[in-house]
Amino acid sequence: MSAQPNPTLSVALEHVEELARGLGESGDALALRERARDLVTPLVLPDRARHLWRYTNPERFVPVADPTVLAPVAIAHEWPREDDLAAAALIAGGALRMVEIDDTARRAGVVIEDLHRAATDGLLGSLVPPEHGFAEAINTAAWHGGVLVRVPAGVELEHPIRVRCVASAEPVSVPRVLVVAGAGSAFELVEGHVGGGVPALVLGVTEIAVGPDARVRYSLVQRWDAGVTGHLTARARLERGAHFQMSLASFGGSLYKADVGAVLAGEGAQAEMFGVSMGGEKQHMDHHTEHLHEARKTHSNLDFKVALTGAARSAYTGMIRIAHDAGGSEAYQVNRNLLLSEDARAESIPELEILTDDVRCSHGATVAPLDEEQVFYLKSRGLPHFQAMRLIVYGFLGQTLQRLPATTRERIEALVASRLHEE
């Protein structure tokens, strides 16, 4: 029997030129948008037999309205900000709404500006090109509401930078973030995604260029409201001696797919990723991670934990690829899933692609129900059922939660507690 062709859909991207002109973009930016538009006109969806889309229907991420129509909307969104931030930026309603930089960071040359008019030196679209996938191509053709974060060479920031992206009730949000870490710089950046509602769709892309010997801590925290369908892609490229740490926290939305990773392009680069996800009710979460070793003596480590209640579903795929010229590299990957109810389900596919013998690699995955003996033991010591479960889940997620900024960790712990209390 002949194979069925991949489904072809019509996606409206009819106002790319008007969008670029209205935003005051350069000719290079328009050319990138047109290249992306041509890739998805017509839109051929990925083959569902491929593991990256085996558990999630790509049709759910296709906009029903034209995202290239420039119509930023007024949005009222309270953002209580900490006093100890080096800088903050707010993307909401299809536009960059607010930028704040403290005096110390400003004097050091830190730049936070509207990505539409920023000089990106060809970096925009280089780490996540439109060819990466159909969701990334749609974002590249249609994005509006973006921010450039640039930390100069040698600058070390004591306090974090926060970027908040608010999904509106409009049909499509397409934010874009570009981070440039100069050689020898050191800082922490927290990117938070909140808001939304029915029938909100979010297609977001973040690119992070980590210069030689730079040290960057990056947190991607997703706390959308119920009803949001979202796809977020984040890629970092590490030059010689760079150290990049990603913390991934996924809690909100109804349907969520994340595609995150790092390219270790320079000798001695190091990448760590610590992820935590908790789903409840009928949430569907699908995470894909990549560590691509392109240079010698690079090191990556990944630990991703998932806890599920209700009838939630989780799918995880993780790729470690070590190139032929990346001898002397080390890579480790583990995915652990804790099922807190009989109806919760988790799938895990860790992968290795090794093209040289001079490596150390390992990977593993576990899917297990809650240990009732542990619950019984804690209850026998006088703890109520809810507190016993919370203690077990905090112990399971604790290592990753401790790597998040304090204020973010407190919010996530509150979400965990409320979700367990519902059970």
Q: Is 52 helix (H, G, I), strand (E, B) or coil?
A: helix
pLDDT tens, position by position, 116-135: 999 999 999 999 999 999 99
33-37, 313-317, 364-368, 372-376: segment of lowest average pLDDT: 372-376
pLDDT at 80: 67
Residue located via tokens 């801590």:
217
Q: Express each pLDDT in 100-111 by its tens digit.
A: 999 999 999 999
Query: How are the residues of the chain apportioned to helix, strand and coil, as percentages rounded to the nearest 5?
Result: 20, 40, 40
Q: At what angle do helices 385-401 and 406-422 cross, to 10 degrees?
A: 150
d(Cα 92, Cα 397) in Å, to the nearest integer? Answer: 31
229 in Cβ contact with 61 (< 8 Å): yes
More confident residue, 384 or 421: 384
pLDDT at position 148 is 98
- Flag whether pLDDT at 3 surpasses 50: no
Q: Measure the CA–CA gap between 170 and 195, rounded to whole angstroms.
A: 11
Tokens of 249: 């926290």
Please give the share of the chain, as a percent, with pLDDT higher than 70: 94
Q: For 187-243, write each residue's pLDDT tens digit.
A: 999 999 999 877 899 999 999 999 999 999 999 999 999 999 999 999 999 999 999
Of the ranges 37-46, 86-95, 236-245, 401-410, which one carries the lowest mean pLDDT score? Answer: 401-410
Q: Mean pLDDT, the chain, as a whole number?
A: 91
Q: Which residues have C-beta within 8 Å of that of residue 126, sequence separation ≥ 6?
A: 207
Q: Are 68 and 15 in contact (CB under 8 A)?
A: yes
Assign 1 a pLDDT band (cuts: 50, 70, 90).
very low
Q: Is 8 exposed, middle or buried (0-12, 13-18, 19+ CB in 10 A)?
A: exposed
- Closest by Cα among 135, 172, 171, 143 to 58: 135
Write the pLDDT tens digit of every residue in 328-345: 999 999 999 999 999 999
The per-residue pLDDT for 123 is 97
For residue 303, CA distances in Å to 69, 198, 365 come to: 40, 32, 10
Q: 327, 318, 319: which is closest to 294 by C-alpha?
A: 327
State how far the Cα of 84 lies from the Cα of 208, in Å rounded to an integer.
23
Query: Read out DSSP for 121-157?
Result: TT-TTTSS-GGG-HHHHHHHHH--SEEEEEE-TT-B-
d(CA 185, CA 25): 29
φ and ψ at residue 50, rounded to 5 degrees: -70, 140
Query: Distance between CA atoms of 203 and 173, rounded to whole angstroms?
Result: 6
Is 394's pLDDT higher than 90?
no
